Amino acid sequence: MSSDGTGGPRKGKVIVISGPSGTGKTSICNELLRRLPGAVWSVSATTRPPRGDETDGSAYEFISPQEFARREQAGDFLETAEYVGHRYGTPAGPVRRAVEGGRHVVMEIEVQGGLQIARRMPESVRIFVLPPDMESLKARLAGRRTESEEIMKRRLEKADGEIAFARDSGKYTYFVINDVLDDTVEEILDIIRKEMETE
C-alpha cells in the first residue's frame, strides 16, 4: 500500500454524490462501486419505509424514528438530514474504519448532509449531479412507479431548491450533468483520480 507521507497507509477518500431525486445518482454510485477497486458503499439509516424491492441493510438500514433519535443522541451519525418528511443519517463508524483502512467510501446523500460532511471532512470529494433538463427529471421520477403522485410532486418541487442550495453553498466542487451514464461515471472517475494525485 502506498504511503501518505507520514509513514502510515494512504487513507481512502470519502466521495459524496448529491443531486435531486431522479437524476440517476444510484446508478452512478453502483457503477463507481463496480469500477473503483476496494470502494465501499455507506449504508445510511432512514426512517422512511422501504420502496419497491429494497431490503434492509443493502440500500438502507430501515429504522424507527425512536431508534433514529436514540442513535443521533448517542453521536452515531456523521451527518443527518430531513428529506420529504423522513430522517436520514450516515453511520460514522463504518466510514471512519474504511477510510483509515485505505478504502474509498461512496455515499449518496442530500445537500444538507453534504454540507455537514464538508465541515467535518474537508478532504472529502463532493460532487453534485444535475439532470440534462427538468423534463427528463420528471420523466425519470414518473417512470419509477414506486411512489405516490403526491410524494413524486414533492420530490420534484424540491429539485430547484436543492440545485440552488448546492451552488450557493460553495461546498460542492464539481457539478456533472448526467446525460449518458457511462460518460458521467468516466467524468467522476477522472475527478477522483485527479483528487488523489493532488493530495
Would you tell me which residues interact with ligand 5GP (CB under 6 A)?
Answer: 21, 44, 48, 79, 81, 83, 88-90, 108-110, 112-113
Nearer to ligand 5GP, 11 or 158 (CB): 158
Cell of 189: 472517475
Nearer to ligand 5GP, 112 or 169 (CB): 112
Q: How far is the CB of 132 from ligand 5GP (least distance, A)?
A: 18
Q: How far is the CB of 136 from ligand 5GP (least distance, A)?
A: 17
Q: What is d(CA 79, CA 66) in angstroms, rounded to the nearest whole number?
A: 17
Cell of 194: 485527479
157 burial level (CB within 10 Å; 0-12, 13-18, 19+): exposed
User: How far is the CA of 161 from the CAs of 12, 109, 139, 164, in angstroms?
Assistant: 31, 15, 19, 5
Nearer to ligand 5GP, 112 or 173 (CB): 112
Do 125 and 195 form a contact (C-beta atoms < 8 A)? yes
Nearer to ligand 5GP, 85 or 198 (CB): 85
Q: How far is the CB of 45 from ligand 5GP (least distance, A)?
A: 7
Report DSSP state, residue 80.
E
Q: What is d(CA 95, CA 73) in angstroms, rounded to the nearest whole number?
A: 19
Q: How far is the CB of 68 from ligand 5GP (least distance, A)?
A: 11
